[in-house]
Structure 1
Amino acid sequence: MQTPSRIQIHHHHHRQQIDIRQLLLCCAQLISRSDFSTAHRLTSFLSANSSPYGDSTDRLVHYFTKALSLRLRHHPSPLCCNDFFRYCDRYDDATLQSSYLSLNQITPFVRFSHLTANQAILEAMDSSHHPQHIHILDFHIMHGVQWPPLMQAIADRYPPPTPTLRITSTGSNLDNLRKTGDRLSNFAHSLGLNFRFHPLLVPNEDNVDDLVHHLSAVILLPSEILVVNCMLYLHRMLRNRESLFMLLRKIKTMNPKVITTAENEANHNHPLFLSRFGEALHYYTEVFDSLEATLPPNSRERMEVEQVWFGREIVDVVAVEGENRRERHERFRSWEVMMRSVGFVNVALSPFAVSQAKLLLRLHYPSEGYNLEVFNDRFFLGWRTLPLFSVSTWH
């Protein structure tokens, strides 16, 4: 049984944690009221009382304070695109790829999204009488970690000759695309799969007009099942809703058998800074708590993911305004309206997909914490009671 003094200390520590997050909100309110000098003093205090090496609250406050400081440094005009990219370009492609691999390794968010999407692809193949050829159009493939498990499943599932697999992937760095293609080709070859990889270089992937133009070069064969894969990607197109609808309509004309999507379950696209800030603080508190429950404080991968992956997102949501913001996450209900308005319908998730996702969480992650909800044929993966990511399938 705890001693009274221990309980007191615990309560005091808990109160202190709440207070320091409250100070972040105060700082955001001061900025929204244009009281920059008081806000600046408060960020100095918060900076001195937080650290990227402490507990989850210390780390959270550290990155939010950094984002607020960047915003203050550029008042009266908030951080412009070039300044943001200068901030982010400290991280080269190799660092970003590395942090993505760490994110995939230490949290279930990416792996869960890939597992669920791959299961939907396999079920789409099963529902076709002769799944001879599969063509996957993958937006922003990153390291390609989604595809080896799918290749393995195809090799295990279908007797020779196995279906032909073709992946067309968009990316803004041709060298990275080719390296990813080579890795996937080598793996496919080791399984005896007939595989081809087509890099689709889109110099500015955030420019929908550019993207739609390049999609016209994608060769579609009538003998192929087309799959369109959008993992944590479409939200970057929300700076211009009309353009996003143009992209979704373009995808619709390609007549895919299935579209797989995963997105952050958050509203970080609110036009009002204060609303966006409050939402982001609530959201990333849960993200950082989940990392704390999974990994020790000195984990290099944890620090990398917090700094490079989530730290960049926080800067984008908090410090950047207007056209220049990229991380424009919206909740699933918003995506549902958009997808349905273009004519897509939800694909039902199989009981196997649900049990597989639950098994992944049980085997690899803290049993108390990560939470899977299935609602109207879409998955929500969250920490404790807050959904953090949604995964859904359409056709």
Structure 2
Amino acid sequence: MGEGILKKRKLIIEEISEEGRVTQEDSIASGNVTCEEEIEMPEKEMSFEHHDEPRVLQSDEVCLLDDTNSDIESPSSDIEIGKSVVIMTKTSNAASKEEKPCAFQSASFKLFIDYGNRLKKIHGKPITVPKYEPERVKMVDQKLSTNAIIRLAGKKFIQFLETSSEDLSMNCLLFSEAFSSLKKEDARDVEIVFYLLASADQVDQKQFDHARMLLEHCEELSSCVGDPVQRLVYYFSKALNEKIDQETMRKTPSNLGIKQLQDVEEGMMTVNSTALALNKVFPACYIIQLAGIQAIVELASEAKKIHIIDFAIKAGQHHSMLIQALADESECHLEHLKVTAVGTASKSKIEETGNRLISFAQSLSLPFSFNVVMVDDILDLDEGLLSVNSDEIVVVYSTYFLRSLLGQPDRLESLMRVIRSIKPSLMIVAEVESNRNSPVFVNRFIEALFFFGAHFDSLEDCMKNDESNKSIMESFYFSTGINNIVATEGQQRAFREVKIEVWRAFFDRFGMLETPLSISSLAQAKAVIKNYSCGRSCSLDMDGKCLIIGWKETPLYSLSAWTFK
């Protein structure tokens, strides 16, 4: 193995032994919405201080902030697995290639350490609801969660890197038959995730033949109908093979990523049976909808006319809930509710949504109108198209829309300027709480592995008696997201997310102030969880004034409210 690669891998282990919080400085920059490259940390001293004003770096992508923590709790201090597996590492011939910054792998692999108790470490106080406790999974009769398996496999992979020899390009890692404190299937799952991590490492090092050999093991041990870990590895293995095909020019990169995003968005534009089935058993979507519209209902108590400008309206279930809530509000004196849906595609689907809402509002005798504003490009949107009247209270409603513009910073900038120009009284923002916008492949891969690991785990618990809809969610929605994050680069990588602290820094540039969600909104969220059978595995926490919805150890979604200075 080349000396540079060996040094870089040893540095991983040295950094992982450090205590305290680590911040990876990827962020939406101040000034113009430029994007950052991965920051090269000096070897002699690594500084992870938080800066009030983000630095401006030059790059072609909007990146992320990532806070990691260097503590991990393992069920066994002596981790051994019982099988022989060959792991290929970079040969000395490859050492002459340009080396990546030393912070690259160290920052990436430290992400494993972060997920132990991330929700418990969010600033602010948790909402008092039954919460998942990691200690529960250590019971003999209970299987480890998917993300607990990932953390153990990550720790084992880090240990493997530490023991790599300088004169070896191929290392044999010996496993004992099982973890002393783990069930047999848990040990097997740790092993398969280990294979997956090793293959991702080889893909990153462009050792594609070695990666394919490892992926063959993954494919032998995984299945789209197995347990959550097997299903997770199955889809990630497919994505890694897709990436290898593109990197080796077996497949020519196309507009696949954009088309995949369009397919997913199109699928969410109608009220389909799979989405309804998921909402009945998994509370996250309903929590976001209910807590968000509660803030609008409270605003309506003091307004005669409300104009909601909705980006990515989809099937519009949240507006049905709002119409019902306003109709039931005895003290509501609302004279008119207007919804303007802004879109760049699927006009007929948006109009269908509008017709359903108009019919529903009429049945409840609520004064309501629905407008559609279609633009070929979000750059074409301007204040005049939104038809905002001076006597209206304006609310901007954005659910999982802003993330679609992270790879197009000029459009994100343009949209925010338009929003600011209409001076909304309130802006509701729901986003995915994950760092999947880094230009660094390993960072994205690990973040996606944890995020989708939590989702596969949740479907196993919540949809165990609905194999048909569970399969559709995983094979279409999840698989599409995984493939786009793992297999594509640049503008083709349409699925991008950043965490709430990144959005805070970005919104601050436009004079936006985060405002607390009301006590009623939080009470609604708490009440929702109690009505779901899998509610004990869901977590509600406050990150400052923002509500974070999580599954077991992993944050999944954020809901925040904003006003303008």
TM-score w.r.t. structure 2 length? 0.64
Q: Return the alpha-carbon distance in structure 1 between the equivalents of residues 278 and 477 of structure 2.
A: 8
* Structure 2 match to 1:65: 237
* Structure 2 match to 1:331: 499
1:240-267 per-residue CA deviation (whole Å, 9 max, x = no partner) reads 3343133112101111111000111110
Aligned-partner SS, 1:393 = strand
Structure 1 residue 289: Cα displacement = 1.0
Aligned-partner SS, 1:187 = helix
1:231 maps to 2:399: yes
Find 1:31's aligned residue among 203, 217, 221.
203
Q: Return the alpha-carbon distance in structure 2 between the equivalents of residues 43 and 382 of structure 1.
A: 30
Letter in 1 for 2:425: K
Q: In the superposition, relative to structure 1, how do residues 139 and 91 fare at CA in structure 2: closer, same or farther (>3 Å)?
A: closer
* Structure 1 match to 2:287: 112
Larger radius of gyration: 2
Aligned-residue CA RMSD (Å) = 2.6
Structure 1 residue 6: Cα displacement = 12
Residues 108 and 365 of structure 1 are in contact (CA less than 8 Å); yes or no, is this contact kept in structure 2? no
Residues 417 and 510 of structure 2 are in contact (CA less than 8 Å); yes or no, is this contact kept in structure 1? yes
User: 266-275 vs 154-163, which deviates more?
Assistant: 154-163
Find 1:220's aligned residue among 358, 365, 388.
388
Q: Return the alpha-carbon distance in structure 2 between the equivalents of residues 121 and 42 of structure 1.
A: 52
Letter in 1 for 2:396: V
Q: Return the alpha-carbon distance in structure 2 between the equivalents of residues 208 and 29 of structure 1.
A: 37
Aligned-partner SS, 2:513 = coil
1:287 maps to 2:462: no
1:176 maps to 2:344: no
Q: Return the alpha-carbon distance in structure 2 between the equivalents of residues 79 and 46 of structure 1.
A: 25
Residues 351 and 372 of structure 2 are in contact (CA less than 8 Å); yes or no, is this contact kept in structure 1? yes
* Structure 2 match to 1:164: 336
* Structure 1 match to 2:537: 369
1:271-323 per-residue CA deviation (whole Å, 9 max, x = no partner) reads 10011101111221112112211121652222222222222111111111012
1:195 maps to 2:363: no
Structure 1 residue 90: Cα displacement = 7.1
Find 1:54's aligned residue among 194, 205, 226.
226
- Percent identity, aligned pairs only? 28
Q: Return the alpha-carbon distance in structure 2 between the equivalents of residues 96 and 67 of structure 1.
A: 26
Q: In the superposition, relative to structure 1, how do residues 202 and 152 fare at CA in structure 2: closer, same or farther (>3 Å)?
A: same
* Structure 2 match to 1:247: 415
Q: Return the alpha-carbon distance in structure 2 between the equivalents of residues 79 and 379 of structure 1.
A: 42
Find 1:209's aligned residue among 379, 387, 393.
379
Aligned length in residues: 386
Find 2:212's aligned residue among 40, 56, 76.
40
Q: Return the alpha-carbon distance in structure 2 between the equivalents of residues 237 and 119 of structure 1.
A: 27
Matches for 1:265-280 after TM superposition, within 5 Å: 265-280=433-448
Q: Return the alpha-carbon distance in structure 2 between the equivalents of residues 39 and 311 of structure 1.
A: 20
Find 2:311's aligned residue among 136, 139, 148.
139
User: 39-48 vs 282-291, which deviates more?
Assistant: 39-48
* Structure 2 match to 1:257: 425
Letter in 2 for 1:379: L
1:74 maps to 2:246: yes
Residues 380 and 391 of structure 1 are in contact (CA less than 8 Å); yes or no, is this contact kept in structure 2? yes
Gaps of 5+ in 1: none
Q: Return the alpha-carbon distance in structure 2 between the equivalents of residues 145 and 94 of structure 1.
A: 14
* Structure 1 match to 2:39: none
Residues 268 and 330 of structure 1 are in contact (CA less than 8 Å); yes or no, is this contact kept in structure 2? yes
Residues 332 and 390 of structure 1 are in contact (CA less than 8 Å); yes or no, is this contact kept in structure 2? yes
Structure 1 residue 375: Cα displacement = 3.0
Letter in 2 for 1:154: L
Residues 106 and 301 of structure 1 are in contact (CA less than 8 Å); yes or no, is this contact kept in structure 2? no
Letter in 2 for 1:71: K
Q: In the superposition, relative to structure 1, how do residues 79 and 348 fare at CA in structure 2: closer, same or farther (>3 Å)?
A: farther
Gaps of 5+ in 2: 1-138, 142-176
Aligned-partner SS, 1:34 = coil
Q: In the superposition, relative to structure 1, how do residues 352 and 306 fare at CA in structure 2: closer, same or farther (>3 Å)?
A: same
1:359 maps to 2:532: no
Residues 269 and 315 of structure 2 are in contact (CA less than 8 Å); yes or no, is this contact kept in structure 1? no
* Structure with greater helix percent: 1
1:309 maps to 2:477: yes
Letter in 1 for 2:294: Q
Letter in 2 for 1:121: I
Structure 1 residue 352: Cα displacement = 1.6
Letter in 2 for 1:209: L
Residues 264 and 331 of structure 1 are in contact (CA less than 8 Å); yes or no, is this contact kept in structure 2? yes
Structure 1 residue 105: Cα displacement = 3.7
TM-score w.r.t. structure 1 length? 0.90
Q: Return the alpha-carbon distance in structure 2 between the equivalents of residues 14 and 154 of structure 1.
A: 49
